Structures are given as structure tokens and as C-alpha cells.
Amino acid sequence: MKTKLLLSSLVLLFLSTIKLNAQSGNDLVLWASGFDHPVKIAHCGDNRLFVVEKDGIINIIDSAGNINPIPFLDITSIVNSGTSERGLLGLAFHPQYPDSNYFYVNYTGSTGSTHVSRFSVDLSNPDVAVDTSEKNLMEISQPFANHNGGDIHFGPDGYLYIGMGDGGSGGDPGNRAQDSLNLLGKMLRIDVDHGDPYAIPSDNPFVGNPDGLDEIWATGLRNPWRYSFDRETGDLWIADVGQSQYEEVNFEPAGSAGGLNYGWRCYEGNVSYNTGDCGEISLYTFPVGVYSHSFGCSVTGGFVYRGSMFPVLYGRYFYGDYCTDRIWTIHDDGGSWVTEDFGQFQTNRFSAFGENAAGELFVAGYTSGDVYRIVDSSSVINLDVKVFLEGPFNSTEMATLLNSGGDIPLNQPFNTDPWNYEGDESVASIPNEDVVDWVLIELRDAKNADAADGAARIAQKAAFLLKDGNVVGLDGVDAPQFNNFVNHQLFVVVMHRNHLGVMSAIPLLGSGNSYSYDFSSNGDKAYGDGTAQNEIVSGIWGMVAGDSDGNGIIEDPDKMVNWDTEAGMPGYLNSDFELNRQVNNQDKNDFWVPNYLRSSQIP
């Protein structure tokens, strides 16, 4: 890894290549709102997110973005949150949760001291903690009200890491961060599974050394406001708030023996601050990312993105600035650190980043009380959908007579009423002999199926339906792709010009950016009362035929206006429910009559 001192007085200093323009597609999408000064986002290994509020409350967000009405934990009565940097500041679940029902918090007590305590989750209700189950592991006196640190995480080694600020005031007047006989200004590391109240890991760097305290893992920190471990590599990333000039991001590779000194108060960022009584420069570990106060005033550390939904973001460490609402990423590019500007967003005062169990990232706004998802809106959704049309189905597959007869139009047919689709898909020729007809696909993003109405639509696209029921793109082979991301849950709607449209009854199953759904396997696969499709042969369901005007209801005009006009005519006609190039009595008697007064159940 390249490391060097940046002695320049440039407005923005990074120990890396700099890309200042935000990349296209970078965005934040609201996930949940209504929190009071959120300062931490955590997960416990399942699909819930836990949001820590500074005053002493922890709330739960479920997988759809809904906030539980009852707090997970309320310890406001014992938390001192009277100043801006005091309060309930940290949360970490035991690595073996839920087999171990313990979680750990870091909070400011009534006297201003830092408390690291263990609580238990209610065995009968995983959404509620036992407020009275506190076991205090550690109490550390704080000489001032600021620079409390407060973040806690379990490392890949199973030990609990505790980030401690330098005790506050300004300029570290007691030089506590460089004093290895003081726990302030340090990263601590303890074993919560042994000892009472804890044990010291035998490989902590100061064990057996009278010049240092056993709990210390690293020194030289000013106020580590959020740090994290890379879930894939085990690397440790620490964002350390600066004094008056620079903010910094520190990096400790996995496998480190500990004992690193990150420089404060000898150095702020990469420049000297107060080098009295400091050692040789080689004794200090300098940050991999530094920015000046022209671009912010207080760094908020984040996580390395290890999710699957946005491949372009993979492996990038996210962090931001509390004062300017800027977010950056940094990653190693062949031995050099590359920093990129993710974007500057509306006033939120970003106070915490978080990741869910799948590795997707979130960020919290301290003043707005909002939690956002970090997304790349230019990402691609691959859609694998299977659906049959009742009319052309012939016991095993659908007929392709419109295709073989040359009747399928080269331009999609959905620009007119009632679809009023604005797309312009067209082909030079029908790309596959197995194409049955055009269909219109719609994606909806909602918390549940009932909420997946027209307002939840995020995309529409015309596509081809093959005789085996698979929907494909304009090449006639590959699944259709959409340049969208899913914020909540994905539902798919399939519409055809003379069959009743259907919507998936449940969210599509996703793997990375690929989603799949099979309407044909059961009648309840389509949203509604179980009658949104017909069982066209035993065990196979298909979209209901007979809606010649496409308005979602099989009614008199479908026969008396359209079928009566088109009866006996050949071609690509809306009353040809069998899609066999001919409007005849079979279309009326076999489909319109038995399906009379049926309607689409798409919300």
C-alpha cells in the first residue's frame, strides 16, 4: 500500500487519487423516517435494522422499512444526553446472536462517564429487550463533555472493540491519546465471553507491559466517530474527527498485531499539530484519506460495501461529513488509494452509516431523523418471468401462429388507450420463431402487495412472450433488463392486449440483481382472490382471455363492439383470443362467454 505525507496546503487532501465529480447513478433513497437524533444503525444477523437514538432509545426497522411501534430498548432514564456528544452512542449484538441473546451498548451515564454494558433480549419476543437486564462491563471517567467516541463492534476475532475519544476540550490538553496508561483516545479490545466482567485477550499489544494498559489495542485517536470491520477481509476502518483543519480515515489491515499509533495529538491528518514529546515519524500510522475543513468539519465513518445489489459499489469504503452532507468512497486500486465523490445531499447532518445482514448500506440524518439507503440507481435488474396466455395454450405450450404467419407487428402495440405506454420498442424483424406476442411488463416497488398500486410503478417495458411462457427482451433470447433499483420489495405486472393482466401476489425472489417469478405454477401466484388466472390444464395456470379492448374487464363491448366487428376477419386482431390469426366463434364461445364479467385484480 502506498503511504506518504501530504505536506501540501491544497484545499482537499487525500492520500489517494481524487475524483471529485459524483458518479452517475449515486443516490440516497428514503428508507424510514421519524427518528429523534439517530446516531447508530446496526443489525443482528436477520432482516431487521436497529436504529439508536441519542436520548436512549433503540428502534427496529423491519425488512420493508416499517418502524416497530414499540421500542426495542428504552434506557432514557439512565442516559445522560444533555450535550451534543453525550448519550446512547453504540450498539453491537453478540456474534452468536440469537444463540446468545446478549447485546452491548455504549452510553454516557449520569456523571458523564462512559458505560459499556450488556443487556439481554426477551426470550419470548426478539423485538423487545429486557430493560432491567443491564450488566455494566466498564465505566470510564470523562474529563469533558465532548469526544466520547462511543462506537462498539465485534471484530472477526469475536472480541469487542470500543472506540474512545481523547476526553474532550480541544487539542487534547492532557495528551491522553498518546498516554498508554490512559484509556482515552484509544481503541480498546476486550473478551466478553470470559472473565467477570470481561477478560483481556492474551494477544493485546500491551499485555504484560507496565507502560500500557491491557485493554488497549491502538492509540492516538482524537474522536473515532464510527469505525467498522470489512465483513469480507476483516480490515478495520476508523474515521477520526479532526481538530480545526483536517478530517481523516485510518486503515488497519486484517491480521494486524495491534499497537498502532494513529498520531493524535502529534499530528492532525498528515500535518504536525503538537509534536512536543512525540517520537520519530516512523512510529505513527498515517491516514489513507484526509480532507480539509474547506470540504467539511466532522467525519462520519461508514462501511465497506459488500452487498450484491450494486456491483459497481462493491469493495468501496463509504464515509461522509456531518457538516456538509458530502459522502465519499475510498478503495484500493492496485496498491493506490482512490477516493471518489459519491455526492452531496440535502441538509441531514449524517451521523451514522450502517449495513444490513446482506451488506447493503444505509446512512442516518441526525437533524432530519431519516434513514436512507445508499444506492446506485444506474444498476440493472434482470427479470426472469414465466407466464402463460389462456387463449393460445395447447396443453403443453402456446401456439406461435401469429409469428409464423407474419402478423406480429414490429412495433409494440401498447401506445394507445387503455395502456398509454410511452415506450417506443421496435425490432427490424421478430427475433425468435418461438415468439407468441408482445407483452407489457411493469415493475412496482412497494412494502407489500397491497401497497403495490400504480403509484408504486418504477418501470415499464414492452417485451416478447415465448411459447414456453418465458418473457424475453427484444433480442428474443435474454431476460429483459431494467435500469432501476429496488428500495422495498419488487412486484411484477404482466399485461397483454386481450388477456386480463396479472400482478405477482408476493415479492419476487431476488439474487443480487436477478429476480424471478413463475405465474403458471399455481393460481395464487397472481395477486387477488385466487381467481386472477384460469387453470388451463391440470397444474398450470394462465392469464384469462376475452378482454378484447384491454380495459381490464371482460364485458359486453368486448363481444358486441369488437368481436362482432372482427368476426370472420384474419390478422393481428384484438378479438382473436386464441392468437391463431382468425376471429371466429371459438374465440367467443370458448373464452368470452365463460370468462364474462371477470376482471383484472391488479391493484
Does the pLDDT value for residue 15 go beyond 50? no
Does the pLDDT value for residue 242 go beyond 90? yes
Type of residue found at 579: L
**For 386-402, how does the pLDDT look when each residue is reduced to its tens digit (9 = 90+)?**
999 999 999 999 999 99
| Domains of the chain, earliest start first | 17-376 (2.120.10.30), 381-592 (no CATH)
Does the pLDDT value for residue 531 go beyond 80? yes
78, 169, 184, 384, 576 from 110: Cα distances, Å: 7, 19, 19, 57, 78
DSSP 394: -
What pLDDT, on the 0 to 100 scale, is given for residue 23?
Answer: 57
92-101, 298-307, 329-338: which has the minimum mean pLDDT? 329-338
Over range 504-515, report the average pLDDT. Answer: 91
Residue 498: strand, helix, or coil: coil
Does the pLDDT value for residue 7 go beyond 80? no
What pLDDT, on the 0 to 100 scale, is given for residue 448?
Answer: 95
3-state secondary structure 255-270: CCCCCCECCCCCEECC
What pLDDT, on the 0 to 100 scale, is given for residue 22?
Answer: 52
Over range 448-469, report the average pLDDT. Answer: 97
**For 419-457, how does the pLDDT look when each residue is reduced to its tens digit (9 = 90+)?**
999 999 999 999 999 999 999 999 999 999 999 999 999
Over range 288-300, report the average pLDDT. Answer: 97
Q: How far apart are CA 327 and CA 322, in angstroms?
A: 9
What pLDDT, on the 0 to 100 scale, is given for residue 1?
Answer: 29
Would the pTM count as exceeding 0.85? Answer: no
11-15, 241-245, 365-369, 372-376: which has the minimum mean pLDDT? 11-15
Give the pLDDT band (50/70/90) at residue 527.
very high
Q: How far apart are CA 38 and CA 601, in angstroms?
A: 41
**For 95-125, how does the pLDDT look when each residue is reduced to its tens digit (9 = 90+)?**
999 999 999 999 999 999 999 999 999 999 9
- Report percent pLDDT > 90 for the chain: 90
What pLDDT, on the 0 to 100 scale, is given for residue 17?
Answer: 46
More confident residue, 281 or 487: 281
Over range 455-464, report the average pLDDT. Answer: 97
**For 134-174, how does the pLDDT look when each residue is reduced to its tens digit (9 = 90+)?**
999 999 999 999 999 999 999 999 999 999 999 999 999 99
Give the pLDDT band (50/70/90) at residue 311.
confident
Over range 487-496, report the average pLDDT. Answer: 96
More confident residue, 76 or 512: 76
Q: How far apart are CA 552 and CA 532, in angstroms?
A: 11
* Count of beta carbons in the 10 Å neighbourhood of residue 135: 13
**Set of cell numbers at residue 37:** 437524533
Q: How far apart are CA 6 and CA 194, in angstroms?
A: 44
Does the pLDDT value for residue 463 go beyond 90? yes
Cβ within 8 Å of residue 237, ≥6 positions away: 227, 228, 229, 230, 249, 250, 251, 252, 301, 302, 303, 304, 317, 319
What pLDDT, on the 0 to 100 scale, is given for residue 377?
Answer: 77
DSSP of 529-592, one letter per residue? SS-SEEEEETTEEEEPB--TT-SSB--HHIIIIIIHHHTT-BSS-TT-TT-SSB--HHHIIIII
Over range 229-237, report the average pLDDT. Answer: 99
* Sheet of strand 216-218, all strands in order from the earlier edge strand to the far edge: 152-154, 160-163, 187-190, 216-218
